[in-house]
Amino acid sequence: MKLALNSSLNNIGEISNEASHSIEHSKMIASRTTAMSNEGYGYAHKASLTNADSRINAKAAVYAFAKRAFDLIAVSIALPLLLPVFAVIAVIISLDSRGPVFYYQNRTGKDGKSFRFYKFRSMVTNADAVKVTLATINEATGPIFKMRNDPRVTKVGRILRKYSIDELPQLINVFCGEMSIIGPRPLPVQEAEQCTERQFTRHSIKPGLLCFREVNGRSNLSFEEWMESDLDYLEKRGFRTDFSILVRAIPAVLNADGAY
């Protein structure tokens, strides 16, 4: 497979009474003072909101910068170390079944833009064509297709999928800036197009290798539960949340709960 590891770092952006003697005059002054007070409050309120927005934008910028930096450092260390592993896996896949070592597919990324998504091939080469004939026995809800005992999966593929080894090539997508280590899993373009407007908001951020779904049962979740967990991540994302997912991912992968 011909892969280009040229990437550009995407950095972040932005994140400001009076009194008198006569009753008539007092009333007039009071009226004017009230109006001026309200106007002053309006300016102060707007300034307060502007300052709050600036702080939120600054916090978001720091988070985005740190997250991208972490992705690059982690992948730059992991990829060279994993190259021998990649080579061994490539040989095993080739010996197990005929066809390419890698599988790629167009997936939906940030802001709905599609990108080429990489995996180790874990199915027969005509898996996408065969899926049409299996539609009536699909075990998943929503637009996705899932079968616990999918006949398209190869012998070696079952092991790769059980421990998520087939997902390792996506480190290249992370390096290129198309994905992050932590973020909602990217959907195939055709499936993403069938999301509701609310569900599609999950694409307002960069997709990732790991998210709440991957540490809470993976394929055991219904499509609706999966989408809700991604929307939950949108609300809670931050350093603490990402670290929690990263730590929980290790036992989740080893236990292989919901992996098929």
> What are the tens digits of pLDDT across the range 44-88?
555 565 776 777 788 889 999 999 999 999 999 999 999 999 999
Alpha-carbon span 71 to 88, nearest angstrom: 25
pLDDT at 98 exceeding the cut of 80? yes
Alpha-carbon span 245 to 119, nearest angstrom: 21
Closest CA to 153 of 224, 72, 259: 259
pLDDT tens column, 115-150: 999 999 999 999 999 999 999 999 998 999 999 999
pTM over 0.85: no
Q: What is the pLDDT of residue 66?
A: 96
